[in-house]
Amino acid sequence: MAVKIRLSRHGKKNYAFFHIVVADSRAPRDGRFIEQIGTYNPNTNPATITLDSDRALVWLNYGAQPTDTCRRILSYKGVMLRKHLQGGVKKGALTQEQADAKFNAWMQEKEAKINAQKSQISAKKEADKKAAFEVETKFKETKAEAVAKKKAEEAQKAAEAAAAAAAENAEATAPEADAQPVENTEA
């Protein structure tokens, strides 16, 4: 029986979420499995991986073959390095303490890289948010200027219309005032 470490798809359409499982290679992708050893969520940035690395190492030592994606995930989490170092310990090339020291140094370096990437992503988000706010503020200012200009033009047109109406009224009443009453000379 060929045993594989592979991904089992879950989640919504266009929003996949994977379980990392140990399964018989003949079983369907999302079907029967022997053991679930972790989860993988590629929808977050950086991707969220939870893995029981001890169980994964046990299954690798039993001869389970990881798929390409699972091999990358196991390498990312350090399981493949631990397997390699354990092989060195079995052959007598290094002691268990040396292997543990190498693995811990690698993990600290990896954690530093991950934290730097997370801080870079959060800084980029903040910069994008600030730039979007500035663009929005600039747009609001130009919109306010356009509205103020339009109101000023409307007020000017209204004032001109009122002046024209007043002038018409003045012209209409002016000839009546200029006309002098006719005196009656018959008497």
Q: Write out the chain's pLDDT in tens, 187 residues.
A: 689 999 999 999 999 999 999 999 888 888 888 999 999 999 988 889 999 999 999 999 999 999 999 999 999 999 999 999 888 988 888 888 988 899 999 999 988 998 998 899 889 989 999 999 999 999 999 999 999 998 888 888 888 888 888 888 877 776 555 556 666 666 5
Beta strands 65-66 and 3-12 are parallel
- 38 φ, ψ (degrees, to nearest 5): 175, -175
Alpha carbon of 21 to those of 53, 90, 186: distances in Å?
12, 27, 127
Residue 12: CB atoms within 10 Å? 7
**Sign (positive or negative) of CA dihedral 160, 161, 163, 167:** positive
pLDDT at res. 46? 82
Question: Helix, strand, or coil here: 12?
Answer: strand
Residue 158: CB atoms within 10 Å? 10
Distance between CA atoms of residues 35 and 56, nearest Å: 10
pLDDT at res. 158? 85
Beta-carbon contacts of 80 under 8 Å, excluding residues fewer than 6 positions away, are: 60, 71, 74
DSSP assignment of 57-114, as one string? HHHHHHTPEEPHHHHHHHHHHTHHHHHHHHHHHHHTSS-HHHHHHHHHHHHHHHHHHH
Beta bridge partners of 106: none
